Chains A and B, each alone.
Chain A
Amino acid sequence: MKYATTMIIGAGIALLAAGLFMPGWLTFLLTLAFAKGLVVMGLLLLMRAGLVSFGQGLYYCLGAYCVGIAGDYFETQNALLLILLAVVVCVALAAVIGLLLCRYRDIFFAMFSMAFSMILYGVLVKSSAFGSSDGFNVKPPLLFGWTPTGESGPFLAYGLAVVALVGVGIFVWRYLRSPMGYAGEAVRENEIRVEYLGASVRRIIYTKYLLAAAMAGLGGGITALAAGHIDPEMAYWTTSGEFVFIALMGGVGHAAGPVIGAVLFELLRTYAFQISPYTWQMILGISLLVIILYLPKGVWSLVERVTKGKPL
């Protein structure tokens, strides 16, 4: 366990150091990828319990809007404060919605979660105070009064994303090896068994839903600070679908799967758009198809095959 923690921290330090030398576009791309990776890590917790949420966009968008609105309303650019607020608000909303959602499974869970996300989308599109469908700009973040400018501009959000990724990564890695982590798999396999063995299935799912909401809010907050602009599309069902896409691409067998999936997804989308501006979605679709056919457990399964000495 200590070895893995050291490895994750080491990877984080290496990413931070690399960020100092990266071109701005790559720093920006990785920041968005890491932020999405955070959302998908939350989705991973739900998927391992057999639940697919098509509504993580709700918390992703809410987190981003919290950062944007609080920045304007409280006239603060303190990045840590804004992100903390985003997480707290997302968990508070999830605490209410989760009471309903933890009663549902399968397609009903997926559709209900999507419905709540679409409600937020509808509200934001109709709210002129928040820029309607155009959204609004978010002030550049400050960290202890410091804000990077010029070429190193995106570095602050990137640094925050890396630190968040390391923290959440260690948490998820340990969580998956804890009784609560195993409980998720046990729920997926057989809910009745979990109940008679002494654990409340609803409580297990509720806890995972809250954690997933917190991670999605964190990812949304970081995205808002990095992009400097937010709009209701973040709550649209296609955004939630993207998170599921990334989860399938990276794999949910390991905490690193979502991060690898998110980076791959952002790179693929960027280059697909560059190569074929009108049919880039087709390239993404074919890529996912290939991954599902040949790597049904996601790209991360390649790493597992190599480390366990299995043939590729």
Chain B
Amino acid sequence: MLKLSSINTNIAGTPILRDVNLAIEPGVLVGLIGRNGAGKTTLMRTVMGLLTPESGSITIGGQDMTDLAPHFRSQAKVGYMPEDRQLVPTLTVEENILIPAWANALSGAEARLAWVYELMPEVEAFAGRKALQLSGGQQKLVALARALMTGSHILLLDEPFEGVAPALSRRLASVLHTLKDEGLTVLLSESDYSHSADLVDQIYTIERGAVAAQEGAVK
């Protein structure tokens, strides 16, 4: 379970997140909805430990992670897909996907990679290409594949559908459906839920850095 209690995060002295409380039960896909500048990415980065909150606490699986460095989140099997993909352009797709496995000395990395390829066969098709040779949408798929290498408990997806062609968006949504069926806990941010309305079990609406509304399933 992922739990955020009274989180306040500042960036360069400016308060961005204000008293954010959020709880995600295992196996649930949660949508974080808010317009640009609402604080979605800041929330994601705070959960991942890339920003340290001024106050409040973050627990993952019952363990307090508030002051721990981001790599401890990865070791706790939290996968993160940033909005801007952040692939290493000079490495191949497969090398990019394997970075978390190397970084965490992951046992069973080959089996995990095979599972990722089974989930997204199109990624295996261009596994040998350099990341810089891929389109934006393909890079999103690779970033998701990379997040899945360690994200076997919780997956944080920051605007996965942003700037992706409709066909690839549908493909991403179908992959997320499969992951949901497999019981993965997912926190997904979007500016609206046009792509994820059929996916999410729970929605948190975020406005000006605070949770403005919380809804159950939207179907």
Contact = CB atoms under 8 A, between A and B. Distances in A.
B69 A200 contact: yes
Interface string B64-83: 00000111011100001010
Contacts of A190: 86
Interface in A164-223: 179, 182-183, 185-186, 189-190, 192-200
B174 to A, nearest CB: 25
A195 B91 contact: no
Nearest to B75: A198
A179 B103 contact: yes
A186 B69 contact: no
Contacts of B70: 192, 195-196
Nearest to A192: B50
13 contacts: A186-B88, A193-B88, A194-B103, A195-B50, A195-B71, A196-B70, A196-B71, A198-B71, A198-B100, A198-B103, A199-B102, A200-B69, A200-B71
Contacts of A200: 69, 71
Nearest to B89: A189
Interface of B: 48-50, 69-71, 73-75, 80, 82, 86, 88, 90-91, 95, 99-100, 102-104, 146, 150
Contacts of B74: 196-198
Contacts of A185: 88, 90
Given A195-B50, A195-B70, A196-B74, A182 B102 contact: yes
Given A179-B102, A179-B103, A189-B88, A197 B146 contact: yes
A196 B80 contact: yes
A194 B146 CA distance: 12
B99 A197 contact: yes
Contacts of B90: 185
B104 A198 contact: yes
A101 B86 CA distance: 27
A219 to B, nearest CB: 30
B91 A182 contact: yes
Contacts of A183: 102-103
A74 to B, nearest CB: 40
A199 B99 CA distance: 9
A194 B96 CA distance: 11
A182 B103 CA distance: 10
Interface residues of A, number: 16
The residue among A179, A185, A195 with the most chain B CB atoms within 10 A of its own CB is: A195
Contacts of B99: 182, 186, 197
B202 to A, nearest CB: 24
Contacts of B80: 196
B206 to A, nearest CB: 21
A199 B88 contact: no
A196 B156 CA distance: 11
Interface in A45-82: none
A193 B96 CA distance: 11
Shortest 6 CB-CB contacts between residues of A and residues of B: A198-B74, A179-B102, A199-B103, A198-B103, A195-B70, A198-B104
A99 B80 CA distance: 28
A195 B69 contact: yes
A100 B58 CA distance: 28
A280 to B, nearest CB: 39
Contacts of A182: 91, 95, 99, 102
Nearest to B70: A195
A297 to B, nearest CB: 14
A198 B71 CA distance: 4
Which residue, A182, A183, A198, A199, has most C-beta atoms of chain B within 10 A? A198
A199 to B, nearest CB: 4
Contacts of B73: 196
Contacts of B50: 192, 195-196
Contacts of A195: 49-50, 69-71
Given A179-B103, A182-B91, A186-B88, A196 B75 contact: no
Contacts of A199: 71, 102-104
Contacts of B95: 182
A155 to B, nearest CB: 43
A193 B50 CA distance: 9
A124 to B, nearest CB: 38
Contact of A193 (B49, B86, B104): B86
A185, A189, A199 pick with most chain B CB within 10 angstroms: A199
Contacts of B49: 195-196
A80 B71 CA distance: 40
Among A192, A197, A200, which residue has the most Cβ atoms of chain B within 10 A? A197
A181 to B, nearest CB: 10
Interface string A85-101: 00000000000000000
